[in-house]
Amino acid sequence: MREISLYNTLTKKIELFVPNEEGKVKMYTCGPTVYHFAHIGNLRSYIMEDVLEKAFRYAGYDVKRVMNITDVGHLSSDADSGEDKMLMGAKREHKSVMEIAAFYRNAFFDDCRKLNIKTPDVVEPATNCIPEFIEMISKLIDKGYAYEAGGNVYFDTGKLENYYVLSNQNEEELMVGAREDVEEDVNKKNKTDFVLWFTKSKFDDQELKWESPWGTGYPGWHIECSAISIKHLGEKLDIHCGGIDNVFPHHTNEIAQSETYLGHKWCNYWFHILHLNDNSGKMSKSKGDFLTVSLLESKGYNPLVYRMFCLQSHYRKPLVFSYDVLDNVKAAYDKLIKKIASLGRDGELEQDKMEVFRTAFAESLGSDINTSQALTVVYDVLKADLNDASKRALLEEFDCVLSLDLTKEVEAGEVDADLAAYVEEMIEKRKAARREKDFARADAIRDELLQKGVEIKDTREGTTWSILS
């Protein structure tokens, strides 16, 4: 087993990872709210969690990873106000909530497949676990940590000495960030109390409702992750992941519920990924044409170029998306793949020499998942005094974590299907521009293609294109 040290949001320190059970990792990831496509910011979190899981496996651990699918209960404000996001999606598209959930769940896993993100061992939609939520809430009421008011059931944060154990901020600060558009909920005993079960939904048309001891209603968002984690990973969780916005209130509330329910400490390590923002600031799904994997594909980018874009930065640094940077990464990626494809296959593996690079790669990952350093080891291998077979074998091994298709066979002359579709589309646009005598636009399209390494030629048979070597 190789060592892995990680920054732990709970202790605010980089710590050596020591699981509860030797050699085994119990890992939980907050899954997507399936009311819309994931934006590439959401997917930054899933890419880095994927790398974390694979880094554990590379280090020799046996990992069980569980992820929920939020298909009920997540309101438009994380602080229990606004409208259920699933209902917003259903209204937007004139479909039922379950149709929306199925469609966007599939879309999410399509994106993951394109980004080489492994599907977790267990994926559990919240709507599958209503009995588990009811059981957990009942016990919280019995233990005196939850109360009914105005028809809803709330968690009583006033009963906890250390409610802010994870976020460690003062109350004022937290209120500013998380509760902008909140009307005061007069049922709450304390401002930070949160809903475990809604029965007095503000919306008559709330589509998904279940019977409960407290009336017909639906669960709050936070209870999902606590109950699903405990259901599949038991009472002691090793590591819990999510984007940085989940620290408060979501993960703070998960700790409050889980630990009062279990009566002991629940999760030892908390792993949070900083946000990806665009030039205009925070990523949003309400801004119309937001950044998705499909949008990048329609512009001719292989989704793995975006994965490499993410791996070049540390997960604990905020990242700003720009097409200029993505173009640079694309050029670097294409060059790297070409270089690897040109490696020969003959020769005995030089195991002793290879071990040095394995160690360097594992140490990079073990240093709080330093993915940019791990990528540097890839380049070091290519420059090293090793035969081609050894280089190829090492890169194949590293790709179990990086998942950039570094050594995937590409037939001679085969071109990425997404790039081909993009080039064809651009050629059609150029034709249209020429028909309209907009030669400036036609030239701009030709130059844009050239920048992406594609040369077009106008022949008597029509426009042809080739990839520049």
Q: Where in 264-283 is the site for ligand AMP (CB under 6 A)?
A: 273, 275-276, 283
Interface with ligand AMP by CB under 6 A: which range of 41-49, 98-106, 121-129, 376-384? 41-49
Is residue 245 near ligand AMP by the rule CB under 6 A? yes
Q: How far is the CB of 45 from ligand AMP (least distance, A)?
A: 4
Q: How far is the CB of 250 from ligand AMP (least distance, A)?
A: 8
What number of CA atoms fall less than 13 Å from residue 165's CA on the CB side? Answer: 22
| Pick 45 or 390: Cβ nearer ligand AMP | 45
Q: Where are the alpha helices (DSSP H) in 128-243?
A: 130-142, 171-178, 221-233
Residue selected from 19, 32, 73, 249 as contacting ligand AMP according to rule CB under 6 A: 32
Q: How far is the CB of 221 from Zn ion (least distance, A)?
A: 7
Interface with ligand AMP by CB under 6 A: which range of 38-46, 99-107, 349-357, 360-368? 38-46
Q: How far is the CB of 258 from Zn ion (least distance, A)?
A: 11
Cα distances (Å, whole numbers) of residue 391 to 254, 272, 344, 349, 365? 45, 33, 9, 9, 19
Token reading at 222? 């936070």
Is residue 68 near ligand AMP by the rule CB under 6 A? no
Is residue 42 near ligand AMP by the rule CB under 6 A? yes
Is residue 228 near ligand AMP by the rule CB under 6 A? no
Q: How far is the CB of 32 from Zn ion (least distance, A)?
A: 10
Distance CA 389, CA 238 (A): 38
Cα distances (Å, whole numbers) of residue 96 to 33, 35, 204, 408? 15, 11, 15, 41
Contact string 187-226 vs ligand AMP (x = CB under 6 A): ----------------------------------------
Is residue 252 near ligand AMP by the rule CB under 6 A? no
Cβ atoms within 10 Å of 13's Cβ, excluding its own: 10
Distance CA 22, CA 385 (A): 37
| Pick 247 or 336: Cβ nearer Zn ion | 247
Query: Which residue is it, tokens 């080739």?
Result: 466
Distance CA 369, CA 28 (A): 17
Phi (first) and psi of residue 264, to 5 degrees: -155, 175
Phi (first) and psi of residue 257, to 5 degrees: -70, -50
| Pick 193 or 224: Cβ nearer Zn ion | 224
| Residue 66's binding partner out of Zn ion, ligand AMP, none, with CB under 5 to 8 Å set by partner kind | none
Helices H, strands E: what count in the chain?
Answer: 15, 17
Nearest to 125 by CA among 139, 141, 104: 104
DSSP 53-80: HHHHHHTT-EEEEEEEEB-S--EEETTT
| Pick 182 or 415: Cβ nearer ligand AMP | 182
Q: How far is the CB of 70 from ligand AMP (least distance, A)?
A: 6
| Pick 225 or 406: Cβ nearer Zn ion | 225
Is residue 246 near ligand AMP by the rule CB under 6 A? yes
Distance CA 374, CA 156 (A): 45
Is residue 41 near ligand AMP by the rule CB under 6 A? yes
Binding residues (CB under 6 A) for ligand AMP: these are: 30, 32-33, 41-42, 44-45, 70, 242-243, 245-246, 273, 275-276, 283
